[in-house]
Structure formats: structure tokens, C-alpha cells
Amino acid sequence: MSSELISDYSVVHAKPKAFYERYERKEELQHQTHFCPGCGHGNVHKMLARAIDELGIQDRTILISPVGCSVFAYYYFDVGNVQAAHGRAPAVATAVKRSLPESIVIGYQGDGDLSAIGSAEILHAANRGENITVIFVNNAIYSMTGGQVAPTTLIGQKSTTTPGGRNPANEGYPLHVCELLATLEAPVYIERVGLGDNKQIVQATRAMRRAVENQVKGLGFSLIEVLSPCPTIWKMSPVEAQRWVKDVMEKTYPLGVFKDRTKEAHPWPKPEPAPALKELPRILGVDYEDVPEEPLANPINAEDVDLHVRVAGFGGQGVLLLGEVLADAGLDAGLEVSWLPSYGPEMRSGTSNCHVRLARQPIDSPLVTVPNVLVAMNEPSLKKFDASVRPGGWVIYNGDTFPSEYARDDVHVLALPFTRMADELGDSRVANMVMLGALLEITGTLPQASIDAALRRLVKNPKWLELDERALARGRELYRISCNEAGHECLCGS
Amino acid sequence: MRKQLIKGNEAIVKSAILSGCRAFYGYPITPASEITEAAALYMPQTGGVFLQAESEVAAINMLYGAASAGVRCMTASSGPGISLMQEGISYMAGAELPCVVADIMRGGPGLGNIGSEQSDYHQVVKGGGNGNYRTIVLAPHSAQEMADLTALAFELADRYRTPVVVLADGFVGQMMEPVEFPQIAVEPCLPNWAVAGTAATRGNLITSLHMDNDDLEAHVRKLEAKYQRAERDEARAEKWYADGAEILLVGYGIVGRILKAVTAEARAEGINVGVLRPITLYPFPKLHFQRLAKRARVFVVVEMSNGQLLEDVRLALNGVRPVEFLSRGGGNVPSHDEVLAFVRRLARQTLSKVEPEEERIAHV
């Protein structure tokens, strides 16, 4: 045939440009696919490639190949290709699309992949309304692995793992993915199509294009389920297999549109523009302007400072905050500090405690197993930690009297009803700050300016800040009064 | 000073963003949840993506997608969640995708408890997923190192195109310490192998599948060569009074901190003891062990697991020196006093007395 003759024809069915000219990623037979004769994947691939061509999105398209017979989609599609783990294509597609909103992300999955091992991923991607397109090829069986039962296998259908046929009493009923996902609010378009005859194939082609177009318009999640023949595993001829799709499969899986919100769906919002790089330290709150270069004030008696503080009490008494203010003020005063909470269920209820270290030298271990100051906000805490206090150390106890069974003659004790005193200030919940005030007065290490700064950083509510400041002052005063009464000496010798 | 008081877990996220990380996918679990929470706060403000996934399986596969798109990405979890992520970590190692995974260890096996253990060592350092792969593993022992090693993790992940794990125990994740952050943020850049939805990257393919036997073998050898390069160039450890020490205490994470405190006290008593703290658990700093073994009489491994680190120390020493072992578990920490008592007993049995002296601390 001469070229003059050809020029008289217009080409109606060329190979889509979204396919490679030659399948060079394949080992051999690079001019044809690896699919069996009569397999539906060839049809579905072609419909998808044509949709990509028609929408002019080849460069922007990223195809997520699954595990199963269509694992090699990247042999054929001349688009960006990512091959995912079994069932995880919707998770992979989610992240690709979210980082690259301009790309067109298409997940391609079989029924074992999507409806069994990947049932969580598809459900949640659909429920989030990810702006992706999912092509779900349902042939009612695991084909790549040789014909095992799938969630989509028909009742009575034989497979290598249901040799007597699928029995609902054992394997449950066929899973209707479209019907299931259509109950969710977020998906925009869900349709089931078939490859049972030419009419169905024409409709499938239309649906495929629509599902991709929805994404191009930014509308959200679209899924097309395709009832697809598998002559090899079904042990049928291609013609019989196609007929079986129409005559048998379709009875269990009726075709149609299960959800269409394309008219009312709003396009996904465009992401906010990213801030300039130089803005990041400020946004993260680590900018040097937020962090003073020099200590706010110098610690008193710094050379001797080596505080090992254990704070303990009930959850809700402000144990952790007490420790945090102490550590933060220490840092402000140019000391080395660490703060370590007990964490876990204690955060919710029960007891709570934390370890605080303040020292002139670098802190070797943040764990305080032998405290030189114990702040016990309740009796169980005293019971738990009293014996661990270093001889010569301090026990600050929240109670009218110090329980005699814990009395030691080798530690200093300050026992006062701090909660009641806090209550007198206006709120029993500032007992922690009254006790901190006493601790600060005892240790005499941290300048007031550092404490004030720490408190302002950590307590944002002005009402609480004012109350906390008064509570701290009250704590200092209480210790001084008790000193005068009992003649205590401060730990740091001041 | 330029330092701020910050939780180790939060330091990870700030450092990650300054290191160019722009995608975080996570799932809550104690004691790692603060990382996911901080990412939820900061990622959207800094041009990044944050999503709480439906499971750790989904989270790690989201990283697979983000990394495929050429974005620096990370996740964080703890023991049971890391177990679920092993699938994705293996796929990412196979597909040569960089990512950073923070594992803030808790107690196990199974649900175990939320106390601090170091029992994820095997599943992280030896690799809990299928196939011939390794992950680079960094072990911080302070909040500052949580920040610094996270930055390093992103560098190494890109340099070696492989997942990198920041392996910390619950204490290091939960504690607050002063941290200084860099003021210059790393600019995210698109690697040439990424699939970015552009004409230039259309020909790229991300996959861990190599159907042909010879292809797969060649691929595995290529990965292996990469790991050997990492073993040669990336092994890191901190020596603390270690040169010339007769007793060498070995531990990572919070245990490293305890060992330093014990060393200070034991040296004051005249016991010639030092600390060798592995910073990279893979590649394991074998050479540090072999060099120090020339002077040391005995190594003492202290860990919050049942001899997982011990195996690597024994392999590194290959029988040239005895290795003693002290272990706690279930959320218990080896106390200063019990380690000190152990050291004193060893010293009585085996060592000569030395005069305490001033020594420099060498960071290697």
C-alpha cells in the first residue's frame, strides 16, 4: 500500500500516546502485554490510556501500580510510575497527590488488593475524599497467585482455597465495594461498569474518562469498579468468560452509578503558599530573636549549684508545671538543666512525678534517683520517695503535720498545708506555685527575674499568671517565717 | 546560650522541618505522640503536609508515596507501631526511597507497657522486614541530639537513598532539655529520580520489583555496596574518658547518660572506667570497640533490653575481651547505684587502682 493511499484515511483507533511505543521494561516480547488472551486488563489499560490522551495530562499523570496481575502497569503506561505494596496504593496515592497537587494520581487495583488486604486504605482514602482516581478491576478471584478465593468471589464459585465453592458460612458473602463506599459522604463519583459486551465496554470507557476528569477539575475522590473477565483462572474461553461477566457476575454486582456528587462538589482548596525559608525559624519559635543570647540574670551561688529535685503528687496538682518553671528559670539563669516527667497513664489520672536537675556543670543523667530536694504534694508521694532523699537534703511536704513514720533526722523538712494556703490566695490549684516559692527561697539559687520570665512563658492566662506570682511570693514568705521559727539553714548556705 | 527548653520529641519535628522535611504521616502511640502532635501544628504552617493515617501500615506507605514524589518525609512511632511499619520500610529500602522514622521505644513484646525500654533494637537495627536490606540507625541520648541526629538522618537518608531510623527510648523522647537549633533552613530540592508529575520525570519509575533473578541479585548487591560504604564512612560513637580506661561501659540512649554519671563517681574513687556510647547502631561502630579493646580489660554492656545490644558488642570484639552484662526491662531503668555497685565489684575482682586525673572527653 502506498503512502498516497494512506493519506486518504483518517486514523480512528491509534494506540494511545499514553502507552509506550515499545514495552522496553519488559524482558521479552516487547511489542505485546503480559496479559492472557481475553483478560480484561488490556481493555481497562486502553480505556485509561485513552482518557489520559484525551484530557492532555500525560506529563502530569502518576500511575500507582498494585500487586497482582496489573503489577506491571508501568511496563505499558508512558507516565510517571510508582509501584506500591499489596493493598497500599490508596495510601501511596494520597501522599503523592498531597505533595504534588498539580499531578493527576491514578490508583489501579485488583479485587484482592483493594477489597481484602487494602480494605482499610481504600476506605479511608475514600472517606477523606482524596482528590485521586481509583480504577478497581474486579474479576472475583486472586489471579496472579493462581486462583484463591477473594472477598469478591461469588457464592458457590470454586477457587483453589474454596475447592467446594464459596460457602457464606465459612467465607462470608461477596463484598460490594461500590455500595459500601457510596455510604460515605466524601466520595464524588462511584460507578460500577462491566466488560461483558461492547455496549458495556463503551459505558466503561465513558466512566473511566469521567473519573479522571473529576480529578483534573479538582472535585475529589472517584472510583470505577470494572467487572472483568479472567479466562485463565476461571478456566473458560475468552468468549465464555466475557459472557460470564454479563450473565453471572452482573447478577451479584449490578452495574450503575452509586454516587455522583460532581455537580455540588467544590474543588479542593489550593494549598497555601509556603513561607520563605528564612521565616521558618521564627514560625517554629526557634529564632534567635525568641531566644536570649545571654542569661537574663546570674544565678546566685552558681558554683555550688547541683540540684536534684523530685516533684511528686496527684495528677492535676500541677506537678509537671512546677518542675517546668524551675527548669526553665534555671536555663534563663544560665544553668544546665533537665526536666523528665513520669509519663503514660499518670498523665490521665493517679500519681504524677518529675525529675528536675539544675547544675553549673553539664548534666550527666537527667534521672533523679537520689534527690536533694523532694517536693511531695501528697502523702503517697512522701511515702514513695522520702527514703530516697540524700542526707542533708530537703523535704517540702504538703500537709499540716509531717507523718511521724517518715520522719528522718538527717534531712530538713518544711511541712505546711500548702493547698489550704493556696485556697486562701484564691485557688487551691496554685499550691504547686506556693511550694515552688518555698523551694526557691530554700535553695536561694535562682534570681527572681528568671522565675518571672519562665512563668510568663509557661502561663499564658493573665488571671493565672497573677495568681501564680502571688502564690510564689507567698511560698517564699512561708519559708522565711518558718525559718525564723525553727532556725533552718538553706541548702546552698545563703 | 541561644537555647530553649524543649522536649526531645518536639525537637525532632522542629529539626526535621529545618532539615527540609515537608511531609509527615503518623499514627498516635505513647510515648511518641508528641512528635505527631507537633508535626500537626507546624507542618501546615511551613508549607508541608501533615496527615494522621488510619494505621501505621498506611502511614509508612504514605511515606513511600511522599518519598516517591521526591519530598523529604518522616513518621514517628513506638514498638508495636514500628512492627507494623516494617512492610513499608522494606519496600522503601528495596525501592531506594529516603525517609526518616523516629522510634521512641516502649516496653514489649506485644502491648508490653508504655515504660521506657530499648527492646526495639533487634527489629530496628537488624531490620524487621523481609529481604536483604539494612536501615541506618541513629541513637540520640539528649534533646539536643534528638535535633542534631534528626538533621543528620535526613542527610544520610538522601545520601544513601534509604530509610534512616532515629531510635530513642521513652525518656529521651519525653525529657526537656535546652536545645539550640540552626538558623538556616535546608531548602527542599527535587531529586532527579523522583516521580513528580512533570515531563522531565515522566520516565522515572519507583519499584522494589525485579522479576529477573539476575536483576534482583544485582540490585541486592548494589544495596549491599551502599551499606558497606555506610559502614566505612558513617559509624559514630562518643568516647567519654574511654581512652586508656580498663573498664569500658557501653550503652546508648538514656543508659549512656547514666553511664556518664556513674563514670564520674567511679573515677573519683580511683576506678579506671570510661564510656563508649554508640551513636550509630547501624553501622555499628566496630572499630571504636576494637581500638579501645587494646587497653581495656573488660567491657560492660548496660541496656534496657535482654542482650540485644550485647550481641553486636560481642560481634565487634570477636572474643578478644570479656563482656559483662547488666540489663533491666519492663520500664525499669538501671539505677546509678546498681551500675556503680556492678563497676565497683568488677574493679575489685580485676583491676589495679589508678589516680583520678583530668582527661579530655573525645567525641568521635
- List the single residue in A94, A286, A366 with the smallest CB-CB distance to B62: A94
Q: Over its length of 364 residues, how does chain B's per-residue pLDDT go in tens digits?
A: 578 999 999 999 999 999 999 999 999 999 999 999 999 999 999 999 999 999 999 999 999 999 999 999 999 999 999 999 999 999 999 999 999 999 999 999 999 999 999 999 999 999 899 999 999 999 999 999 999 999 999 999 999 999 999 999 999 999 999 999 999 999 999 999 999 999 999 999 999 999 999 999 999 999 999 999 999 999 999 999 999 999 999 999 999 999 999 999 999 999 999 999 999 999 999 999 999 999 999 999 999 999 999 999 999 999 999 999 999 999 999 999 999 999 999 999 876 555 444 443 444 3
Q: Find out whether B136 and B160 touch, Cβ atoms under 8 Å.
A: yes
In this structure, the strands spanning A306-314 and A373-376 are: parallel
On chain A, the residues whose CB falls within 8 A of the CB of B204 are 80-81
Q: Find out whether A73 and A84 touch, Cβ atoms under 8 Å.
A: no
Q: Find out whether A99 and B23 touch, Cβ atoms under 8 Å.
A: yes
Least CA distance to A288: which residue of chain B? B2
- List the single residue in B183, B205, B337 with the smallest CB-CB distance to A288: B183
Angle between helix B56-68 and B79-95 (nearest 10): 30
User: CA nearest B99: which of B169, B20, B9, B8?
Assistant: B20
Any chain A CB within 8 A of the CB of B218? no
User: CA nearest A89: which of A54, A113, A72?
Assistant: A113
User: Cβ–Cβ of A284/B17 closer than 8 Å?
Assistant: yes
pTM value is 0.94
Question: How many angstroms separate the Cα of A32 from the Cα of each of A19, A20, A43?
Answer: 11, 11, 13
Any chain B CB within 8 A of the CB of A266? no
Residue matched to cell numbers 552484662: B325
- List the single residue in B4, B53, B195 with the smallest CB-CB distance to A82: B195
On chain B, the residues whose CB falls within 8 A of the CB of A365 are 254, 257-258, 260-261, 336
Note whether A12-260 and A282-486 share their fold: no
A241-A243-A247 Cα angle (round to 5): 120
Interface probe with A: pick from B46, B61, B106, most Cβ of A within 10 Å: B61
User: Cβ–Cβ of A85/B212 closer than 8 Å?
Assistant: no
Residue B77 to residue B80: CA distance in whole angstroms? 8
- Identify any residues that bridge with A358 across adjacent strands, giving them in sequence order: A307, A337
Q: For A238, list phi and psi in degrees, rounded to 5.
A: -55, -40
Determine the distance in angstroms separating the CA of A143 from the nearest CA of chain B, rounded to an integer.
17
SS3 B166: strand
CA dihedral B77, B78, B80, B85 (to 10 degrees): 40
Q: Which long-range contacts (CB under 8 A, 24 or more apart) does A25-29 make?
A: A25/A72, A25/A74, A25/A75, A25/B205, A26/A72, A26/A75, A27/B211, A27/B212
Single-letter code of the amino acid located at B227: Y
User: Cβ–Cβ of A369/B335 closer than 8 Å?
Assistant: yes
User: Cβ–Cβ of B201/A295 closer than 8 Å?
Assistant: no
User: Cβ–Cβ of A95/B199 closer than 8 Å?
Assistant: no
Residue A226 to residue A44: CA distance in whole angstroms? 8
User: Cβ–Cβ of A120/B4 closer than 8 Å?
Assistant: no
Least CA distance to A124: which residue of chain B? B54
User: Cβ–Cβ of A275/B47 closer than 8 Å?
Assistant: yes
Phi-psi region of B253 (alpha: psi -120 to 50; beta: other; left: phi over 0): left
Q: Is the peptide bond before B98 cis (omega within 30 degrees of 0)?
A: no
Angle between helix A462-486 and A431-443 (nearest 10): 50
User: Cβ–Cβ of A364/B337 closer than 8 Å?
Assistant: no
Residue A480 to residue A483: CA distance in whole angstroms? 5
User: CA nearest B69: which of A84, A56, A24?
Assistant: A84
CA dihedral B152, B154, B160, B166 (to 10 degrees): 70
Any chain B CB within 8 A of the CB of A289? no
User: Cβ–Cβ of B51/A98 closer than 8 Å?
Assistant: yes
Q: Find out whether B34 and B11 touch, Cβ atoms under 8 Å.
A: no
SS3 B359: coil
Q: Find out whether A268 and A101 touch, Cβ atoms under 8 Å.
A: yes
Any chain B CB within 8 A of the CB of A4? no
Q: For B124, list phi and psi in degrees, rounded to 5.
A: -95, -50
DSSP of A35-70: SPTT-HHHHHHHHHHHHHHHHT-TTTEEEEE-SSGG
Q: Find out whether B230 and B256 touch, Cβ atoms under 8 Å.
A: no
- For A387, other C-beta atoms within 10 Å of its C-beta total 9
Any chain A CB within 8 A of the CB of B30? yes
Q: Find out whether A406 and A383 touch, Cβ atoms under 8 Å.
A: yes
CATH number of A282-486: 3.40.920.10
Any chain A CB within 8 A of the CB of B130? no
Q: Over its length of 494 residues, how does chain A's per-residue pLDDT go in tens digits?
A: 455 566 677 777 789 999 999 999 998 999 999 999 999 999 999 999 999 999 999 999 999 999 999 999 999 999 999 999 999 999 999 999 999 999 999 999 999 999 999 999 999 999 999 999 999 999 999 999 999 999 999 999 999 999 999 999 999 999 999 999 999 999 999 999 999 999 999 999 999 999 999 999 999 999 999 999 999 999 999 999 999 999 999 999 999 999 999 999 988 888 889 999 999 999 999 988 766 666 666 666 556 789 999 999 998 899 999 999 999 999 989 899 999 998 654 455 578 899 999 998 889 889 999 999 999 999 999 999 999 999 999 999 999 889 999 999 999 999 999 999 999 999 999 999 999 999 999 998 899 999 999 999 999 999 999 999 999 999 999 999 988 876 555 443 33
Determine the distance in angstroms separating the CA of A165 from the nearest CA of chain B, rounded to an integer.
32
Residue matched to cell numbers 460490594: A176
Q: Please, which residues 245-284 of chain B have a Cβ atom closer than 8 Å to chain A?
A: 254, 257-258, 260-261, 264
Sequence-distant (6+) residues with CB within 8 A of A296 are: A332, A333, A447, A449, A450, A453
User: Cβ–Cβ of B65/A341 closer than 8 Å?
Assistant: no
Residue B193 to residue B195: CA distance in whole angstroms? 7
CATH architecture group of domain A12-260: 3-Layer(aba) Sandwich (3.40)
- List the single residue in A83, A88, A287 with the smallest CB-CB distance to B206: A83
Any chain B CB within 8 A of the CB of A365? yes
What pLDDT is recorded for position A295? 65
Least CA distance to A73: which residue of chain B? B205
User: CA nearest B7: which of B45, B46, B40, B33?
Assistant: B33
On chain B, the residues whose CB falls within 8 A of the CB of A95 are 23, 25, 49, 51, 61-66, 69, 73
- B172: Cα separation from own chain's centroid: 12
> Domain map of chain A by residue range?
12-260, 282-486
Residue A339 to residue A357: CA distance in whole angstroms? 7
User: Cβ–Cβ of A104/B197 closer than 8 Å?
Assistant: yes
Determine the distance in angstroms separating the CA of A108 from the nearest CA of chain B, rounded to an integer.
14
What pLDDT is recorded for position A226? 98
On chain B, the residues whose CB falls within 8 A of the CB of A278 are 185
What pLDDT is recorded for position A490? 43
Query: Residue B167: which H helix or E strand, with range?
Result: strand B163-169
In this structure, the strands spanning A412-416 and B163-169 are: unpaired
Query: Residue B6: which H helix or E strand, with range?
Result: strand B4-7
Q: Please, which residues 9-48 of chain A have a Cβ atom closer than 8 Å to chain B?
A: 25, 27
Q: Please, which residues 89-118 of chain B have a Cβ atom closer than 8 Å to chain A?
A: 91, 95, 113-115
User: Cβ–Cβ of A92/B211 closer than 8 Å?
Assistant: no
